[in-house]
Amino acid sequence: MNKLRIEHDSIGTKEIAHSSYYGIHSLRAAENFPITKQAIHSQLINSLAVIKQAAAITNYEAGLLEGTVKDAIVQASQDILDGLFHDQFIVDPIQGGAGTSMNMNANEVICNRALELLGNKKGEYHILHPNDHINAGQSTNDVIPTAGKIATIQLMQQLKQTLHTLILALEDKATEFYPILKMGRTQLQDAVPIRLGQEFHAYAIAVERCTNRLDSILQELYTVNLGGTAIGTGLNADLYYFHHIVPNLSRITHLPLQQAEDLVDGTQHVDVFVMASNAVKTCAVTLSKIASDLRLLSSGPKTGFGEITLPAKQNGSSIMPGKVNPVVPEVINQIAFNIIGNDVTIGLAAEAGQLELNAFEPIIFYKLLESIETLTNGIKTFTDNCIRGITANAKRCNQLVTSSVGIVTALCPYIGYGQAASLVKEAMTSGKTIEELALHHQLISQEELAIILNPIHMTQPGISGKVYKSNLS
């Protein structure tokens, strides 16, 4: 039978399972906030642990902790970084108190593990205390936003890697599909010809812009308010600790972290997370648009556009045999919908901050980290299970170009807009092609038409109009 220990706080006492590394503050929070029934993100747990590790080292250097105590705290924090004791973080991601429950959960787990390492029993806080030792020189109000920034940075770097892989896959398809002429469309109506490879190259460029935005946001995320304690004034932080905590944290994390120039501002305002969420949302919107394009281009297989074929990944219907759906692009759309909603939540939470603190950082980090992680996972399957396996239906593309009236635009410099519009109307009613009608009405010669409707001339600027106009007039 699991033995119990008694812990107390300013509210009263509670029984804690002796095997538990969390303490009374964590248990009260778990009872008060059974909201999502989800765990705190593992990257956020690790970020809390590395802050506690850096704090112990800095407090030791300041002469505030004995070496054995510092070593125990550092090792306990390292255990968490190595993946141990994550199940002891029992508080819900959505919680009242500006993240105090999260911070105390980390303090208690690290404290009780350190007590074990020192040869003592869990809960013997007269020897090592969660607040007095693990949280020394800190406040929830500088620990939580700093941990949130580190977690966001780590996940954004992973997101950037997956985006880079996607860009390469799109560029490969752009090269592969470059010779294939197809019909471009605006507002879902025939426009002018384009190369399939040009479309995929445009996708790659759009995704590359997403990575550039993330780079810009990362530069702002490197500025942290650690050392500011409760409201940015640094109350209860030793002067040595104040000046060295961020450099030590930077060294341990291998991130170019720097202390905010104005720690009051750094504690009051969370606008950088709004920007980070917006960059992630913008990326999701871009990818969702690409995914929707692929669904349209692959629609059919017999009655739609049918210009490309997506890799078949699973049966598409429980009733219609042989049906295959664009399930991977569809999941990208759904990820985007979720991220857009998360972005709204983050914006509202950031706006609701009051005076010296934003009390709603827990929901900000819950939704921001979810957005980054789901987008990262979505991009991986988008690249591996969709983009790399796309094939082009060149004959179908050519058939649609030949039968479209959109190619008449290339004739405008030679026969005029009005005459070209008349050809379109006649083509729509007669069923004949623009090429057939232009020759029938002797508006242009066969040789000249071959030059004007050359796929190269129709898909890049400055050739037909500048080189051949004088010859045809």
- Return per-residue pLDDT of the chain as tens, 473 residues: 569 999 999 999 999 999 999 999 999 999 999 999 999 999 999 999 999 999 999 999 999 999 999 999 999 999 999 999 999 999 999 999 999 999 999 999 999 999 999 999 999 999 999 999 999 999 999 999 999 999 999 999 999 999 999 999 999 999 999 999 999 999 999 889 999 999 999 999 999 999 999 999 999 999 999 999 999 999 999 999 999 999 999 999 999 999 999 999 999 999 999 999 999 999 999 999 999 999 999 999 889 999 999 999 888 787 888 888 999 999 999 999 999 999 999 999 999 999 999 999 999 999 999 999 999 999 999 999 999 999 999 999 999 998 888 788 888 888 888 888 898 898 889 988 888 888 888 888 888 888 887 767 778 876 544 443 444 44
Please name the residues in contact with 146: beta carbons below 8 A apart, sequence gap of 6 or more.
47, 51, 224, 225, 226, 249
Burial of 230 (0-12, 13-18, 19+ CB in 10 A): middle
Task: Say how far apart CA 203 and CA 206 lie, in whole Å.
Answer: 5
Residue 191 three-state SS = strand
Phi-psi region of 119 (alpha: psi -120 to 50; beta: other; left: phi over 0): left
Task: Say how far apart CA 248 and CA 55 lie, in whole Å.
Answer: 8
Task: Say how far apart CA 130 and CA 104 lie, in whole Å.
Answer: 7
pLDDT score at 442: 86
Are 26 and 108 a contacting pair, CB within 8 Å?
yes
pLDDT score at 467: 41
Task: Say how far apart CA 152 and CA 143 lie, in whole Å.
Answer: 14
Residue 23 three-state SS = coil
Residue 454 token pair: 């050359």
pLDDT score at 463: 53
Are 407 and 191 a contacting pair, CB within 8 Å?
no
pLDDT score at 408: 84
pLDDT score at 351: 98
Task: Say how far apart CA 366 and CA 151 lie, in whole Å.
Answer: 11
pLDDT score at 1: 54
Half-sphere exposure of 274 (CA within 13 A, CB side): 13
pLDDT score at 469: 46
Residue 211 token pair: 């990575």
Are 369 and 377 a contacting pair, CB within 8 Å?
no
pLDDT score at 468: 39
Triad 160, 372, 218: Cα angle to 5°? 55
Type of residue at 168: L
Are 211 and 161 a contacting pair, CB within 8 Å?
no
Half-sphere exposure of 305 (CA within 13 A, CB side): 21
Q: Which residues are catalytic?
A: 317
Task: Say how far apart CA 404 and CA 428 lie, in whole Å.
Answer: 9
Task: Say how far apart CA 265 and CA 52 lie, in whole Å.
Answer: 23
Nearest residue to 323 (alpha-carbon basis) of 333, 334, 312, 332: 312
Domains (range + CATH), the chain: 4-136 (1.10.275.10), 142-394 (1.20.200.10), 405-472 (1.10.40.30)
Helix, strand and coil in the chain, % to nearest 5: 60, 5, 30
Biggest alpha carbon distance in the chain? 101
Q: Report the run of H or E that residue 164 belongs to, with start and end.
A: helix 140-176
Are 174 and 166 a contacting pair, CB within 8 Å?
no
Alpha helices in 222-262 (DSSP H): 239-253
The neighbour count for residue 114, using CB atoms within 10 Å, is: 28
Task: Say how far apart CA 230 and CA 243 lie, in whole Å.
Answer: 16
- Residue owning tokens 């066969």: 446
